[in-house]
Chains A and B, each alone.
Chain A
Amino acid sequence: MEAKRFVYSLTGKLILTISALMVIGSIILGYLMYRNREAELIEHSVDSGISFTEQIKKSTRFGMVNYDVNLIQRTVEDIGSSKGVNKINIFDAKGKVAYSARKEEIGTVLSLDSYVCKPCHAGVSKPKTTQSWSISRDKEGYRVLNVIQPVHNEPVCYSAACHVHPKDQLVLGLVEADLSLAYLDKGIRKQGLVLIAYIASFFLIISIVLYIILWKFVHTPVNILSKGMKRVASGDLNYNVKIDTKDEMGELAEVFNAMTADLSKAKKELVEWGNTLEKKVGEKTEEIRKAHAQLIHSAKLASLGRMAAGVAHEINSPLTGIVTFGHLLLKKFPEGSEDREDIEVVIEQANRCSNIIKGLLSFARATTVDKGPVNINDVVKSSLNMVLRKADFFNITIEQNLDESLSPVEANASQLQQVFLNMILNAADAMEGKGTLTVYTRKVTENDRTFAEVEFTDTGHGISQENMAKLFEPFFTTKPVGKGTGLGLAVSHGIVQEHGGKIFVKSTVGEGSSFFVRLPLYER
């Protein structure tokens, strides 16, 4: 497994490729060196072999000239006993062995086809008269150098006393010597082994150095980068790889770190963007939900208004009967009598019914009124003046923060006053006659439309969350029975709605409430 991984790794591939190239190169180089050395040695041996046969020729010259057969034979035998000399034969011109280091070969006649004669005679009309050599192998496989040296005619030969050789004969005979090249073969083999050992050591050293270099400069940084990429891929975008070298790996690490930083930044932006989007979607959804609720609420109030108007009108007539006949009855009983008091209760309660109906009708009647430009500050001031002298307001501080530059709104002044009075009286009730009522007017922009806004902020008991939802419903009241009809805010809501504005509340239980009335500005 480890070996397989090594083979597939970059380091492994590089080492294996370089090794293979080195092995092939070494083999070729070694072989060429070997062959070159061998050729050189053989050339040298041949030179030695040729000079050796020349030496034989010279050693036997004296014997030849004096025709001392025994001296020649003894000289040949002596030289032939030397180490590395396998054979020495001296042939006469007829191809017969005249002298030999091995006596038994004397007298042997060779044909022209024999290996001795062939080099000069075979197929050639005029034989060569120079020396020749060849290499063969002995029984042990070692090379043997065979040198054939012709013996040329010389004046001393044909003028000698023996008169054996005629003057016109060119070649008188041959010297043949077999010289063993075993020392050479052994030497070459040894040199080959040494060469192989050198190459192997060189190869080993190169491999180790290469491996260390690749490990340090390729494997380790690649591993660091790969680890870094895994970390980044698993989401750790703050991870930095540390490669301090100035080479391509160092550059790669720098680029990688820059990329990770960019990614991290992009991801952060994306997350932020996502969050903002989620928030915006949430806000929009809430807005739509509120608008929808508002719409349902308005529709509900409108139908309630129509119903209330119908009911109110029908009830007014029987109430007229109750009140009239009650009063007629009243006159029949003496002042202070119990019966009279009972009837007074009947009349009183009928009047209460009448008040409820008046409220209902004004709630239903929040439609179809004439509108015109109205200075909202003036309406606020006149509404406040109306209540200031009431006992309920003796202990209430009223603060006015009015924007005097506010443009007029399109409204019906008396309806608007009804709304503001409602807000002011409700605030007084909430504060139970003691506290601060602050009234603001200001210009606000909502969905590219400009509105005038009036804010009534009290320091009263506040409105609970559950009451908040029912606040603008008709007949909803937290006041004691008989004190409020529960129509004030419903009527105000209807009026403001009819004016194309809106009314809303912000409240904290125990701290107070703020009622906001927004009305569109008057457009000529």
Chain B
Amino acid sequence: MAVRTGRPLIETNRVMAPGQTPGGIDDVVNTPVLAGPQRTPLWWWIGFSISGALLLLYLVSIVQLITVGTGIFGNNSPVMWAMPIINFVWWIGIGHAGTLISAALLLFRQPWRTSINRFAEAMTVFAVVCAGLYPILHLGRPWVFYWLLPYPNTHGLFPNFRSPLDWDLFAISAYASVSVLFWYIGLIPDLATLRDKAKSRFQKLLYGTMSLGWTGSARAWTRYMRAYLLLAALSFPLVLSVHSTIAMDFAVSQLPGWNNTIMPPYFVAGAVFAGFAMVLILGIPLRRVFGFEKLITMRHLDNAAKLLLATGMIVVYGYFIELFLAWYSGVEFEVFMAYNRLFGDYGWAFWLLILCNFVAIQPLWFRKVRQTPWALFVISIIVSIGMWLERFVIIVVSLTRDFLPSSWGNYTPTFWDWSLFAGSFGLFFTLFFLFIRLLPAIATAEMKELAHHDAHHGSDPFEEIRPRYYGEERA
């Protein structure tokens, strides 16, 4: 399917455009997935090739890293953690929105989640893959990373459970497993639909195996819904815990700029912020190229933008509180940390961060901006850059200036720092392109349920007031 051009877009503020039928949803979502390889659109090939090339760069960087050593990065003493850790936190932050959308919004009965949860969950899983590899690659001796696991061994040694890095390992692996499980369970009814419609042997085998014999019986649905809800209940706390734990990697240390009790909530808000930015970065082109405008509507964009604004302001509050507490503590080292963050050698990073994460999101107060996809896309990219800078400011800038001026030092990333980062995009987008080609990017079973509700029961309890709120006539 090529990018549609010249066709008038039907924009709406409802969860889905009126008049959607289960068959129509199938046509829009499932038909491209089941199309044969020769009908794969050109844009997909281009995107997949670029991603694949970057993935190769990733692999080359890893080979270089393993053969030569961590020294290929710009890390030094005192900046022992730098770009790999920034990228790790950045990716794991992105990996937050998916589960939040799926689990939290499901529990809060927000029907608008349905259109975007599938690709957001996929995004989560892939981002966690990208993130999870970083701490391992960042080790001096990556081949013994399993020593962090409490496994029985002849050394008679056990990990040190006092270390936040060990908490990290469990938090990320738990989050990764639950996210994959949640995503996969959500996929099962859709996989069964694909199985039923599959034409080629490959598709039959693939979807037949993956759908685990789903029959769609009432009993299966009952069990399924219960399991899904339980998993949602299980993953919701994980959304909060995983980034809190990562925040503790920093908060537990005594480094000025890291040692802050505000870190866990502030990191979670930052993660949701970054995650929603990424959802928008992926969702806006997706709805365009697949023609999902009726399913991923203005309502979704608008809601995501509001969440972006809300979490963004929480994050900005965090910046302010960090500076305030540094001053209020009266501790020389903390005061200097704040001063250095604002006016030191890397002061530009802080001000750029304020520009990206504070100034750039202010237009979102206006509905017009929230409902302009390209503007949202641009703002989301700026926010993603801003969140990367935030981690740079916290991790690197704090390390460059700590207690003893004699040991201060600056940091400059090397080619390999950037190549591994660019390569991780390759990994992410390769997986993402495979995902949108082979699996339905929208949860069709749930959408069909919604369409049924729409058609027979009326889906929107605020149907009467919403048009007035949005200042538009009913479509």
Whether both chains belong to one complex is answered with no
A interface list, Cβ under 8 A from B:
none
